[in-house]
Amino acid sequence: MATSAVAGYRGKVLASTTSTGAVTAIAEVKNFSLTVEMAEIDATSHESSGHREVIGGTNSWSGSADYLQVMANATHQETYDMLVTKTLSTFEFYPTGSSGDGYYTGTGYFTNWELASPNDDALAVSISLVGSGALTRG
């Protein structure tokens, strides 16, 4: 039986830019990840009979991506600029590259920008971001 799995190479990440505010794809993305978490609130009491009890706390989300650095690419320059200027951005994540297959969107901040210039590989950047508010599924 053939698999219905979807190739990961179709995915894309979009971010609003500092110059126009428009959401634009970050070019040359090699991979990305999106994490959604719920904090737990300890609700253990003497009535818990020696067992830990928790209730749901606040939700949070974060993401990261690696892309090949193209020095002339405006989106690559702006990921760095938005980090150092602490600019709130809109992010969109398309796991299959198509909005018809579902996507995720939210606002947040770039929190990390790391440039790597390896001797035996392409010039690359790793970015991290953290959400501010809800991440919605489209």
Structure-token pair, residue 22:
């428009």
Cα dist from 101 to 15, 70, 78, 81, 85, whole Å: 19, 29, 28, 31, 34
Query: How far apart, in whole angstroms, are the C-alpha atoms of residue 99 and residue 91?
Result: 14
12-40+49-137: which CATH number, 3.30.56, 2.30.110, 2.60.120, 1.20.120?
A: 2.30.110
Instruction: Output the pLDDT for position 18.
Output: 66
**Residues belonging to the chain:** 138
pLDDT in tens, 65-75: 999 988 888 78
Where do the structural domains in the chain lie, given as residue ranges? 12-40+49-137
Query: Can you give the pTM of this predicted structure?
Result: 0.86
Query: What pLDDT band is residue 32 in, cutting at 50, 70 and 90?
Result: very high
Instruction: Output the pLDDT for position 76.
Output: 81
